Chain A
Amino acid sequence: MADIVDIAVSAGSFQTLVTAVKAAGLVDTLKSPGPFTVFAPTDDAFAKLPPGTIQTLVQNIPQLARILTFHVVSGKLMKADLAKLSSVISVEGSPIKIDCSDGFEVKNATVVAPDIEADNGVIHVIDTVILMG
């Protein structure tokens, strides 16, 4: 099986995410044994952000890394595991609300493809970039 980064690269619909992860220097972390749970926003999710948002973040790596690590949770949490929880703590430190009562929602994002297993964790594909707060 491939790791989280390899899966994201080969899927083709995470180009912005992969570019951001590379820019933030998080590739090695996400290739490490982990395990991690990654809520991966698609390119369409990033495109929904107002213009300039990504440009400023890419110019400021620690700030970019903070937003990206908000999408990562330590441990391998499948949809079935998350369904038992109301929130999880991100690597960034802020909580992420989980709602599996009607579909599978992570904060204000909807999971469009759950449980993509990798060597070092699991990816849940989301349709919106999630932000702290």
Chain B
Amino acid sequence: MTIATETKAKLPPSKHEFADVIHRLEAGGAMLPDTPENLMQIIGIYKAYAVPMDFYWRDLLYIAERVFLDPFPFFKYFIPKEYLELHNHYAGDDADLRIWRGEATAHPELLEFMEKGETLKMPKLLHHWLHDRVNMEFAEECMRAMLWHGKDMGWGQFDPYLDSEEYIANADKAIKAYFKYNPVMMALYKAFPDLFLEQCRQMSYYSNLGLFWEIMAPVFFEMSDIYDEGGFKGVPDAMNFLVNGIFAIAGRPIYHHVYIRGECYEIIPKSKGFMWLYEAALPYVEAVFYRTSPFRGTKSYNAQAKQVPDHQKDFHYGILYADVFPVGTAGIPPTLLMQDMLHFLPPYLVDYYHQHCRGEDDMLIQLGITFQRSMYCVTSAVIQALRTALLYPLDDPNPKHLQANRAFFEAQIDRFKRPEARLRNIQSHNYR
């Protein structure tokens, strides 16, 4: 608390609409208020998110590295054993940096769910058709958001590289090798090379997101374990774990390798120096948490009436702005994610949802709102990490530096002034 007192002593109170939140950030807190209820909710949902995420990253890498440009990728959601056993680089005994103390292979709860689903043990194909499975469509929507917004986010060197001569030459080698024995596809590639290159760029984003989530899954598992052991005393502790995690793995390489008939084609080699923080995490937060795109089926938009912004940078359809409501129809990515998380909720969170609103009937909405709270915590961690990396310590003795920190916090929070933003809602525990 000394930090807060000192900060307040040096700077006059903020006049920002969300001054309370600014002061909380300046005292080392999160956008989400520090209450035991919030802590319980966000950790519980991290655990429920981490299990399907363990599927997402494995499948994203499988698609990027093996399925690649298959013109009929019917079985792209059927992860082979090899990828289920792929060792996560941040969990298990042989980790590069051990973040989760658990195992490096697919999570046991995931394997159990993949076998039985919500129904019963039956062939994979039936689970797939019945939609009784992990919904990769959500992961792919996130990937597309990154691809689509990649051009103008101003973060990292990944997207510009996709248009470079070097990338096109690397992709060309891989595409030609992939279709070596397929004269029809080869002829199509000759006729429409840009079409194939664009598909290849999309594959590079599959790899990017897969490598990003490979880290987030063990981070969330570890947070859940620490909480179960009584380790986090409040929301700021959980946020600081994320901040430290962001730094610890900032330098993890982001690349795209494709394996064709046993040979590895480095479309984006590790030697480019692309990093988890700049080329994956920051673009991900911008594209997925803030922007995404208006999801089909949730609401109708009239572009002529300016209901859709002219510029992509002004898009605001991410989880931080979402009006969480149940749709119940297929194909709507956020609903699919909620459905995925529903299967892996820790018991304390299920009990909690039973006590409120309509009990089990609206659990999808309640967990969606919990997820929104938890993503405000992750976004807070990103804001604090950026402040640490680019600005000054919260207890900096120089008032000019504190003013620079404040200007940064205020600029970040300005993005939540628009009416759709849920920052105001999450300040109250009654928003569920």
- A residues contacting B by CB (< 8 A) are 49-53, 55-57, 59-60, 62-67, 93, 102, 107-108, 131-133
In the assembled complex, the CB of A71 is this many whole angstroms from the nearest CB of chain B, namely 14
State in angstroms the CA–CA spacing of A99 and B299 once bound together: 49
Contact of B273 among A55, A65, A108 (CB under 8 A): A65
**Smallest CB gap from B405: residue in A:** A108
In the assembled complex, the CB of A23 is this many whole angstroms from the nearest CB of chain B, namely 12
Asked whether, in the complex, the Cβ of B252 is within 8 Å of the Cβ of A60, the reply is yes
Interface contacts (Cβ under 8 Å), in number, total 67
Asked whether, in the complex, the Cβ of A50 is within 8 Å of the Cβ of B248, the reply is yes
Interface centre among B155, B243, B275, B392 (most CB of A within 10 A): B275
List chain A residues, Cβ under 8 A from B274. 63
State in angstroms the CA–CA spacing of A57 and B400 once bound together: 32
List chain B residues, Cβ under 8 A from A65. 273
**Smallest CB gap from B274: residue in A:** A63
Given contacts A60-B270, A66-B273, A108-B391, contact A52 B253 (CB under 8 A): no
Asked whether, in the complex, the Cβ of B250 is within 8 Å of the Cβ of A53, the reply is yes
- Name the interface residues of B20-79: CB closer than 8 Å to any CB of A: none
Asked whether, in the complex, the Cβ of A56 is within 8 Å of the Cβ of B249, the reply is yes
Flag whether B425 is at the interface (Cβ < 8 A). no
In the assembled complex, the CB of A26 is this many whole angstroms from the nearest CB of chain B, namely 13
Flag whether B416 is at the interface (Cβ < 8 A). no
What are 17 A-B pairs with beta-carbon distances under 8 A? A50-B243, A50-B248, A52-B244, A52-B247, A52-B249, A56-B96, A56-B249, A56-B252, A59-B96, A59-B251, A62-B273, A63-B273, A63-B275, A67-B251, A108-B390, A108-B401, A133-B155
Flag whether B355 is at the interface (Cβ < 8 A). no
**Smallest CB gap from A52: residue in B:** B248
Asked whether, in the complex, the Cβ of A57 is within 8 Å of the Cβ of B247, the reply is no
Given contacts A50-B243, A62-B270, contact A56 B392 (CB under 8 A): no
